[in-house]
Structure 1
Amino acid sequence: MTTYASPVTVIGAGLGGLTVARVLHLHGVPVTVYDADTSAEARNQGGQLDLHEHDGQLALQIAGLSEEYRAIIHQGGGGQRVLDRLGTVLAELPDDGSMTRPEALRGDIRRILLDSLPAGTVQWGRKLTSAKPLGRGRHLLTFADASTVETGLLVGADGTWSKVRPLLSAETPVYSGMSYIDVHLHDVDERHPAVAKTVGAGAMYALTPGEGFLAHREVGDVVHAYVVLHRPLEWFSGIDFDDADGTRQRIAAELAGWAPELISLIADSDTGPILRGIHRLPDRHRWHRVPGVTLLGDAAHVTVPGGEGANTAMLDGAELGQAIAAHPGDPETAIAAYEEIMFRRSEAEAVAARETVDLIFGPGAPHGLAALINGTEGRDNPTIADTGGRSSTV
């Protein structure tokens, strides 16, 4: 049985998809969001994000949620420190308390977006399996439960492995050569005091060329950490990630010679390690206009994590919502205007992300990032944003 969706159909209830839904709601445009998760609480949404004034915070301002955002900021969480593999602090920048790029949990940001939408806007447990053109800008969506929906305007906000992208582009994300192993440590002040002291109150980067630890102190006495390794996919396939203890030991052994308090981030983690392979589309990923469908966020321009992924997804969503509202009854003009700006921005951000990763993990690591934070190089401080929810598990 085929049902008919709202004038705008969004696939994916991530930050970008919810932002476009919120902006459309503010302008009185009916919208339905379909998401594969069974509920809003079905999985962890990842760690902290620093939303920037020019994109993520601007998107929330357009969405009318700036006050709600200020209420969830992790005060003091914006500090940064850089260590070498022996645990020596090479650079440190405290949280200055400004609103330039404050930290907040991804799950909390998602919650304020969800709470701002009318009940029923998000349809949970609807995993898209295919999208088929019907002509005249309409598409037939088929879900894993065998239900179908006929759309008006279709927005793919469904991430790296988007099922909507093939309607527009034949490009498939390729492995970047880098993977993250994602873990959490709980009650760190009492149970992991050496880790708590090493990470500090904000973000910590412990680096050598091609590998290292990224960690962040989160609310609730939690440290969220990633081990970053440049290895081929085949190397990871030899590890049984269902065996949490064995995986901890295998990854810790790979980092023999690092400071014990750094190895503790993986060896003593309280959650099973999750592998997140980092994939990317071409920097200049574009497509010819196809009636009735567009993309935003990682579905449109997934790249290596350089600190802007969630920020640009949210700005994509806000600007797309504004464009649709500004051209009632003329979705093609709206989409064309949105895509023209989005293409230019996403290309610039993809290039900047690769430069950030090269700075952090390149031949000069950790000294390039340390020099930047110490103020001896003239560019804005980069961050590696949390990858939970945007990178694929290998």
Structure 2
Amino acid sequence: MFVTVEVSIRMPRSDRAGHPGRTPLPPAPPYGLETTMTTHHPIAIIGGGLGGLTAARVLHANGTEAAVFDLEASAGARTQGGMLDIHEDSGQMALHAAGLHEGFRGIVHEGGQAMRLLGPDGTVHVDEDDDGTGTRPEVDRGALRDLLLDSLPDGTVHWGRKATGVRPIGGGRHEVAFADGSAVTTDLLVGADGAWSRVRPLLSPAEPAYTGISLVETDLLDADTRHPRAAAVVGTGSFMCLGDRRGLLAHRETDGSLHIYTALRADEDWIDTIDFGDGAAAKAAVLAHFEGWHQDLRALVADADGAPVPRRIHALPVGHRWDRVPGVTLLGDAAHLMSPFAGEGANLAMLDGAELGLAVAAHPGDLEAALAAYEEGLFPRGEASAAESAANLEIMFGGHGLERMAEFFTSAPEAG
């Protein structure tokens, strides 16, 4: 990989008045060393999530190195929890392209494709076991991320690099500034930096909008031992309980804990009306929206370990796209942020990353041809999944979400 380094250093200077023939120098500044460093990388990927790492891996597998810049301080700085169902026609295709599908099979959570759908009174409407024949196996997000990280050469990912600004510098090249004072220039800038992408404004003025759904996340740890009734309600895989414009969603994680999402149609400022610093008060405020629900369902929130964590759900416009701009593109949420109700976010990010890597490999020496080919597939793929996600949101959190989802699962068992 070709790297140039330009460094300017301003050192503190001592008073040399005692040396004959020398002019006294000004006193030292109040800091010890000020350094600005700019490096050049032919391909710079901003964001070390699943999509960015997949792009780097597929590029590497095809003989092209890329540098990945991530704001986290290290690979283990933050828990990468949560379960993902990896779809045969998207995420698994990406893993095949990355040469990692065999490793992926080794981290699959057996039993994770089981699915339960309940009504607010506790009635079970759908109860599907995982018989091992499904095409959307569940994996732990952190384990999948580790699989990708371990497949990259040492030094590929630059940790602790939070992008603070990007700008074109001519000839299709761009410069990215980071919070630590460093900067990089690049021939191909890839925005894999999520919902609030710093790279996206180079291509599009679009911004994520609130979807009308707010989530509150809670956990039940060591569920089989400490919360056996909740463990029985959720089952071995995924769980959903839907009422009038609200619901409880959950999944069992590989460590035996249950991760719960309370979902509500709510005003955008609803979260601001609750003191989430007071766990008991926050739980009570959330449960006020679930009066009359079965006690075992309410216990998924009431008995949670730790404080609830709120999250508003945002999305980019369905069909978001941009005109071709030399030397820059997007993938994953930066390109097509959508609600999580089609399970496509991580899968599409990985497929985007793989398709970008393959396009660069298929057009050696011609980045613009590669980007044009990549975006030709990116736009319709993202639009279709975003439309599906938006439709599922309306189905799940409309007036008859339970009935419509029961019909959905029984008519197409693997559609969820």
The answer, yes or no, to whether TM exceeds 0.5 is: yes
2:73 pairs, out of 14, 28, 38, with: 38
CA distance in 2, matches of 1:96, 1:354: 30
- SS state at 1:261 partner: helix
CA distance in 2, matches of 1:136, 1:187: 56
Offset, 1:283: 0.6
Alignment-derived partner of residue 14 in structure 1:
49
Alignment-derived partner of residue 391 in structure 1:
none
CA distance in 1, matches of 2:329, 2:313: 23
CA distance in 2, matches of 1:73, 1:133: 42
* Equivalenced residues, count: 380
Offset, 1:7: 1.1
Unaligned segments of structure 1, at least 5 residues? 384-394
Offset, 1:243: 2.2
Alignment-derived partner of residue 91 in structure 2:
56
Alignment-derived partner of residue 298 in structure 1:
333
Which deviations, in whole Å up to 9, do the C-alpha atoms of 1:254-289 show, x marking residues without a partner?
A: 212111111111111113211111101111101011
Cα RMSD of the aligned pairs, angstroms, is: 1.2
Q: Establish whether residue 200 from structure 1 lines up as the match of residue 274 from structure 2.
A: no
Q: Establish whether residue 331 from structure 1 lines up as the match of residue 363 from structure 2.
A: no
The answer to whether the 8 Å contact 1:46/1:106 transfers is yes
CA distance in 2, matches of 1:46, 1:208: 27
* TM-score, scaled to structure 1: 0.94
Q: What does residue range 1-394 of structure 1 map to in structure 2 within 5 Å?
A: 1-305=36-340, 306-375=342-411, 379=412, 381-383=414-416
- Aligned-pair identity (%): 51
Alignment-derived partner of residue 388 in structure 1:
none
Offset, 1:380: 6.0
* TM-score, scaled to structure 2: 0.89
Q: RCO greater where, 1 or 2, for CA within 8 Å and sep 6 or more? A: 1
Which deviations, in whole Å up to 9, do the C-alpha atoms of 1:4-36 show, x marking residues without a partner?
A: 232110000100000000001111212100001
Q: Which residue identity is paired with 1:25?
A: H
Single out whichever of 134-143 and 38-47 deviates more from structure 2.
Answer: 38-47
Shift of the 152–2 alpha-carbon distance from structure 1 to 2, 3 Å rule, reads farther
Alignment-derived partner of residue 387 in structure 1:
none
Offset, 1:217: 1.2
Offset, 1:253: 2.3
The answer to whether the 8 Å contact 2:71/2:159 transfers is yes
The answer to whether the 8 Å contact 1:11/1:155 transfers is yes
Which deviations, in whole Å up to 9, do the C-alpha atoms of 1:32-89 show, x marking residues without a partner?
A: 0000111112222231111011100010000000111000000011011110011110
- SS state at 1:272 partner: strand
Single out whichever of 209-218 and 366-375 deviates more from structure 2.
Answer: 366-375
Offset, 1:148: 1.2
CA distance in 2, matches of 1:191, 1:174: 39
The answer to whether the 8 Å contact 2:168/2:175 transfers is yes
CA distance in 2, matches of 1:92, 1:177: 29
Structure number with greater Rg is: 2
The answer to whether the 8 Å contact 1:52/1:102 transfers is yes
CA distance in 2, matches of 1:224, 1:365: 21
Single out whichever of 13-22 and 208-217 deviates more from structure 2.
Answer: 208-217
Offset, 1:327: 1.2
Offset, 1:363: 1.9
Alignment-derived partner of residue 390 in structure 1:
none
- SS state at 2:196 partner: coil
Q: Which residue identity is paired with 2:399?
A: P
Which deviations, in whole Å up to 9, do the C-alpha atoms of 1:305-331 show, x marking residues without a partner?
A: 121111111000000000011112111
Structure 1 residue runs of 4 or more that deviate by more than 6 Å after TM superposition: none
